[in-house]
Structure 1
Amino acid sequence: MEEAGAASDIVLEFKQDVALTEKMRRRVSSLQRSGQKRQDGERLLLPHEAVYRLDFRRQDLRFRRWNVSMGGRGRVTVTGISQHWTPDLTHLMTRQLLEPVGAFWRGAAAAAGDDDDGLKWLEADMQEFGERIAELAKVRKVMYFLVAFKDGAEAARLQCSLAFCSRQ
C-alpha cells in the first residue's frame, strides 16, 4: 500500500496512546471486579484492542494515501472515534465510532515472504476513511482510533501512517 510520495507530503504516524489504553482497560477491570454492567451504549475496550492517535500539526490537509506495513499474517481493523477525550476519561459510547472502518489483512501463505505484497484492504473504504480523517483534521489537533489485532496480527509488527498534502 506504500508508494513513493511527493517531497511535500505530510506523513502522520499512528501512535499508540498507552496511557489512554490502560485507563480503558482499568475501566473494564473495575466493572468486572465490582460485578457492575457497562452503561447503556458504552463501548468497552476488548483485550485485542488498543487506542492509537494521530496528532495534527496542520488543519488544512487533503488525504493522499495510507502507508501500511504489517509483518506476518493477521487482520488489523482501525476504527475512528468522533469523541474528544477529557482528562476524566469520558466513557466511549458506540455511537461515537465512525464508519467506514479501515481493515487490512494478510493470510498465512502471503505472510511467508516478509514484504507487503500479500497485504489486502478495501480500497474504496480506505479512501473514504482517509478523506473523513482529513475533514475532521480541520477542527481537531488530535484524533483517536481503536485498533484491533486479530488472527495473529501484533502491534509490534504494524506500521501505519497517513500521507496528506496541503490544501493551499
Structure 2
Amino acid sequence: MSDAENAKPGKLDAPMRAALFGVIGAAVVLSLGSLVVVSPRFALGVAIGGALAPLNLWVFAQVGEAFLARRGNTAPWAVIGALKLVLLLGGVWLILRSGIASGLSLIVGYGALPIGITVGTLFGPKPPEDGPEADTTRRSFGDAPRKDVLKARPADEGDPSNEP
C-alpha cells in the first residue's frame, strides 16, 4: 500500500511536514539571532511572529487538504479558513495594541514562513511522481512537448492554406 492509501485525514504528507519543520527552524534561528543582535524585547516579538507562522501554515494545510480531498461538505472548511484569517489578524492587532511586541519584530518573525517553506521545499523530500496514483497527464514546465509544434511544414506538401 502506498502512503496516499495509508494517509489518515489530517495527517500531513512528507513535503508539507518538511516545510512545517523548515518554518519552525527558521523561526528559532531568527529569534535567537535577534536576541543576540538586537534585544530581548525584539526577540520576544520575533518569537511571537515565528510562532504564528507555523501555526498558520498548519491550519492552511489542513484546510487545503480538506478542500482537495473533498471530504463531505466543504462549507465548514470555508468557515474555518475565514475564522483562521480573523483570528490571525485579531491576534496581531491585540499584540500590537498591547505593546508586547513591535510590528517590525512580528514581521521579522513571520518572515520564517517564506524562508522555511523555501528551505523545506528545496531540501526536504519530494512528492512521489511514480506509482499507480501518479497523474501521467501532468507535466512540469521543463518537459518537452510531445511533438515539435514550432517545426513548420514544407509548403510543397499540398496544403491548400499554403498556396497563393
Normalised by the length of structure 2, the TM-score is 0.24
Write 1 or 2 for the structure with the bigger share of helix.
2
Write 1 or 2 for the structure with the bigger share of strand.
1
